[in-house]
Amino acid sequence: MRQALMFDLDGTLWDSTDVIRPVWNGVLAAHGRAVLSESDFASLMGLTKAEIAARVLPEWGEAERVGVIGECFAAEQIELRRVGGRLYPALRETLERLHEAWALCIVSNCAPGYLDAFFAAHGLRGCFDDWETHGGTGLSKGENIRLVCQRNGFERAFFIGDTASDAAAAAAAGLPFIHAAYGFGAVPEAKARIGAFSELPALLADLERRGTACL
């Protein structure tokens, strides 16, 4: 049976905010815009380019604000390729352990170049079997989850993410959801959660014993 673990990126596999917030603020300042606080920036993680643009520059026309956020995206990718982000503790060894029994995939609302920067900076491309982004397809996260499942013929899969929108995407795709409670968002209704990435193998083993109907 083909089984998969599908991951969100920001707030689930890494935290890049300390690296890219100064980059964004430099671009915004060049356009005469106020800088973003840590909490402001954290609230943008997981959103699409258009959603971020509407939140950061609500008074601007759509084309203009999306263009400025596009500049932020391009600048952040250069810096992330150079220095990387903060991987969550025990990420690499946990992924390698999980990969022995599961196909591993990433589905994110980021731009394709952002995911490429994650792979390039940390050498993790070989840990994953497939991936998809909103920037690559223009589809919602739920639609991209279904797309990856269909093209790989997965018969069983979980989606692991840190926000309520991740939980909604999993539900839209018909997958059970595991909340990465160490990330950026609260999902109080989640029926399964991990407080650290390294807890995922034990949780999956527990779900195997109890059956996934509880999700």
Question: Which residues contact residue 146 at a Cβ distance below 8 angstroms, ignoring those fewer than 6 apart?
Answer: 173, 174
Compute the Cα dihedral for 52, 57, 59, 61 and give only its sign. Answer: negative
Backbone angles phi, psi at 39, to 5 degrees: -70, -40
Successive 10-residue mean pLDDT values, the chain, 215 residues: 92 96 95 90 87 92 93 94 96 97 96 93 97 95 97 96 97 97 95 97 93 60
In angstroms, the CA 124 to CA 132 distance is 15
Q: Are strands 177-180 and 156-161 parallel, antiparallel or unpaired?
A: parallel
DSSP-derived secondary structure letter, 101? T
What integer pLDDT is reported at residue 42 of this predicted model?
85
**Token pair for 65:** 């604000």
Structural contact between residues 215 and 192, judged by C-beta atoms closer than 8 angstroms: yes
Quote the CA–CA distance of 85 and 69 in Å, as a whole number.
20
pLDDT score recorded for residue 45: 85
Q: What's the confidence (pLDDT) of residue 213?
A: 52
pLDDT in tens, 78-130: 999 999 999 999 999 999 999 999 999 999 999 889 999 999 999 999 999 99
Pull the structure tokens for residue 214: 């509880």
CB 24 within 8 A of CB 76: yes
- Residue 10 has what DSSP assignment? B
Contact 110, 12 (CB under 8 A): no
Q: What is the pLDDT of residue 215?
A: 59
